[in-house]
């Protein structure tokens, strides 16, 4: 059984609250057949879903898994999905880089992106022959919305000859103007690789200013960035860490590199969502806090029941737009298809391919904690 000390109990539960009508309008019910075919799944989510809630969830899970077979579809589930989606209907699970690789290789006609819109675009860029669906077209991202392709064109005019590295949390238009993409798994590796390849000592790394400053802290490459932020990770503070250490002596604090630099300075370990998950699985700490999106702690906790999790809760409102209900609807009605102009797709693909051609991110240089933040040039739309 996962051990979770929830410092904000119930904050990620709205996606799990269901009414009987949610089943009725979809022609679903908790029949004997559904019960028999889903009982074994309950074990995987019993720490997050009560026995009372299960009859409202099992028919949706059963219906989605049947529709996947009928449509020859797979579901790519990001680490920030709620445990019901992540554990019970996700065929591939992970961070955005892992999901991008799966999208390129998966043998299916339909991909349902259980994540946000830029992730679905990335899947479509890499798998144009497949139908890519997103359950809610409004599932956006504060980072992706902070910058446009026109902004990148202006930046390139201002800094000719300087490579542009773009975080994957961007639209296809932005990727199309980019030299190479990166994720939080491989940002340091990509920056150092591209600087060496171009023979320059300066790289533009956009749009997350905190990720860029955290990369700048561990590399000699000069970084110029953009004034974009993840609305989830920017909320964590160094004071939060001091408070957690006082309230939970001995707790290990792991932080995502989209957090502000003073948070990484005070944390014990920093890395991408997959690096945080691997750290917990490989080292089995007694007690841990993950400073990242709320549902990620639940998903890592269910895979590591021997570890005690202290769980502050910052929700991504965009990720939480994805529910079992709208996944079912997307598969049933084959909606909402993500389409990209072919010229834009081909240009964006070059930047993603350049990233995917790099060696496995496990060999990349990690982020470090305990380093003093560095000031770097930060551009904004007015620049
Ligand atoms: S967690 Fe942050 S970066 Fe990820 S989708 Fe939400 S707003 Fe965007």
| Residue-by-residue DSSP string for 217-232 | TT-SSEEEEESB--TT
* Whether pLDDT at 352 is above 70: yes
CA distance 50 to 259: 32
* Whether pLDDT at 10 is above 90: no
* Whether pLDDT at 15 is above 50: no
103 falls in which pLDDT band (50, 70, 90)? Answer: confident
Cα 307 to middle of ligand 1, angstroms: 26
What percentage of the chain has pLDDT greater than the value 70?
93
> Ranked by mean pLDDT, which of 1-5, 53-57, 341-345 comes out on top?
341-345
Counting from 1 in the atom list of ligand 1, the atom nearest the Cα of 141 is 8
For residue range 136-164, what is the model confidence (pLDDT) as tens digits?
999 999 999 999 999 999 999 999 999 99
Burial of 244 (0-12, 13-18, 19+ CB in 10 A): middle
Query: Which of 23-27, 337-341, 358-362, 375-379 comes out lowest in average pLDDT?
Result: 358-362
What pLDDT sits at residue 368? 84
Ligand 1 probe mutation, 140, 231, 257, 314, most atoms within 8 A of CB: 231
15 vs 226: which has the higher pLDDT: 226
For residue 335, give Cα distances in angstroms to 62, 75, 338.
Answer: 19, 14, 9
Residue range 343-363: mean pLDDT, rounded: 86
Work out whether strand 308-311 and strand 287-291 pair parallel, antiparallel, or are unpaired: parallel
Residue range 118-130: mean pLDDT, rounded: 94
Ligand 1, atom 3, residue with closest C-alpha: 230
Cα 258 to middle of ligand 1, angstroms: 9
Cα 4 to middle of ligand 1, angstroms: 23
Counting from 1 in the atom list of ligand 1, the atom nearest the Cα of 293 is 1
Name residues contacting ligand 1 (CB within 6 A). Answer: 116, 141-143, 169, 230-232, 293, 316, 318-319
What pLDDT sits at residue 41? 96
The CATH number for 10-141+318-333, chosen from 3.30.70.20, 3.30.460.10, 3.40.50.10800, 3.40.190.10, is 3.40.50.10800
* Whether pLDDT at 37 is above 70: yes
Cα 121 to middle of ligand 1, angstroms: 15
Cα 287 to middle of ligand 1, angstroms: 26
CA distance 148 to 162: 18
Query: Which of 115-124, 155-164, 181-190, 329-338 comes out lowest in average pLDDT?
Result: 181-190
18 falls in which pLDDT band (50, 70, 90)? Answer: low
What pLDDT sits at residue 374? 82
97 falls in which pLDDT band (50, 70, 90)? Answer: confident
Closest by CA to 191, choosing from 212, 170, 160, is: 212
* Whether pLDDT at 383 is above 70: no
What pLDDT sits at residue 129? 94
Q: In the numeric block, which tokens belong to residue 305? A: 């029941």
Residue range 102-116: mean pLDDT, rounded: 93
Residue range 193-216: mean pLDDT, rounded: 96
Ligand 1, atom 2, residue with closest C-alpha: 230
Average pLDDT value for the chain = 92
Cα 318 to middle of ligand 1, angstroms: 7
Cα 142 to middle of ligand 1, angstroms: 6
What pLDDT sits at residue 357? 87
Counting from 1 in the atom list of ligand 1, the atom nearest the Cα of 140 is 5
38 falls in which pLDDT band (50, 70, 90)? Answer: very high
In order, the DSSP letters of 287-356 are EEEEESBHHHHHHHHHH-TTSEEEE--B--TTGGG--HHHHHHHHHHT-PBP---HHHHHHHHHHHHHHH
Domain residue ranges of the chain, discontinuous segments joined by +: 10-141+318-333, 144-228+342-379, 233-311
pTM: 0.92
What pLDDT sits at residue 306? 93
Q: Does residue 215 contact residue 373 with C-beta atoms inside 8 Å?
A: no
311 falls in which pLDDT band (50, 70, 90)? Answer: confident
CATH topology of domain 144-228+342-379: Rossmann fold (3.40.50)
For residue 223, give Cα distances in angstroms to 11, 21, 198, 265, 315.
Answer: 36, 52, 14, 19, 29
Cα 115 to middle of ligand 1, angstroms: 10
205 falls in which pLDDT band (50, 70, 90)? Answer: very high
Counting from 1 in the atom list of ligand 1, the atom nearest the Cα of 208 is 3
For residue range 76-88, what is the model confidence (pLDDT) as tens digits?
999 999 999 999 9
Class of domain 233-311: alpha beta
Ligand 1, atom 5, residue with closest C-alpha: 141
Question: How far is C-alpha 137 from the chain's CA centre?
Answer: 17
Ligand 1 probe mutation, 171, 183, 293, most atoms within 8 A of CB: 293
Q: Which residues pair with 378 in a beta bridge?
A: 225
Q: Which residues pair with 287 in a beta bridge?
A: 308
What pLDDT sits at residue 364? 62
What pLDDT sits at residue 195? 96
């Amino acid at each position: 059984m996962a051990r979770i000390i929830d410092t904000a109990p119930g904050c990620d539960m709205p996606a799990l609250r269901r009414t009987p009508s949610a089943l009725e309008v979809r022609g679903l019910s908790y029949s004997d057949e559904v019960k028999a075919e889903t009982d074994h799944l309950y074990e995987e989510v019993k720490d997050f879903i009560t026995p009372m809630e299960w009859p409202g969830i099992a028919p949706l899970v059963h219906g989605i898994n049947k529709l996947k077979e009928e449509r020859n579809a797979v579901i790519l589930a990001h680490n920030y999905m709620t445990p019901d989606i992540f554990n019970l209907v996700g065929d591939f699970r992970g961070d955005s880089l892992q999901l991008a690789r799966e999208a390129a290789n998966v043998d299916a006609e339909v991909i349902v992106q259980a994540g946000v819109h830029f992730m679905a675009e990335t899947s479509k860029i890499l798998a144009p022959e497949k139908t890519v669906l997103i359950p809610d077209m409004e599932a956006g991202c504060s980072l992706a919305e902070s910058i446009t392709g026109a902004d990148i064109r202006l930046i390139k005019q201002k800094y000719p000859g300087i490579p542009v590295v773009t975080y994957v949390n961007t639209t296809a238009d932005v990727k199309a103007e980019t030299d190479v993409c990166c994720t939080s798994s491989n940002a340091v590796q990509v920056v150092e690789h591209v600087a060496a390849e171009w023979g320059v000592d300066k790289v533009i790394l956009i749009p997350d200013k905190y990720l860029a400053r955290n990369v700048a802290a561990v590399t000699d490459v000069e970084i110029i960035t953009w004034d974009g932020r993840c609305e989830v990770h920017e909320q964590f503070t160094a004071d939060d860490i001091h408070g957690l250490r006082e309230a939970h002596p001995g707790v290990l604090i792991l932080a995502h590199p989209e957090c502000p630099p003073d948070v990484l300075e005070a944390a014990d370990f920093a890395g991408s969502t997959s690096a945080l998950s691997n750290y917990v699985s490989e080292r089995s700490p007694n007690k841990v806090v993950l400073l990242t999106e709320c549902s990620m702690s639940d998903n890592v906790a269910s895979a590591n029941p021997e570890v005690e999790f202290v769980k502050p809760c910052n929700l991504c409102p965009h990720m939480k737009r994805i529910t079992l209900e709208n996944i079912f609807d997307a598969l049933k009605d084959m909606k909402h298809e993500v389409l990209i102009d072919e010229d834009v797709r081909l240009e964006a693909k070059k930047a993603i391919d350049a990233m995917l051609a790099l060696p496995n991110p496990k060999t990349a240089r990690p982020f470090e904690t305990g380093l003093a933040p560095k000031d770097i040039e930060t551009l904004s739309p007015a620049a």
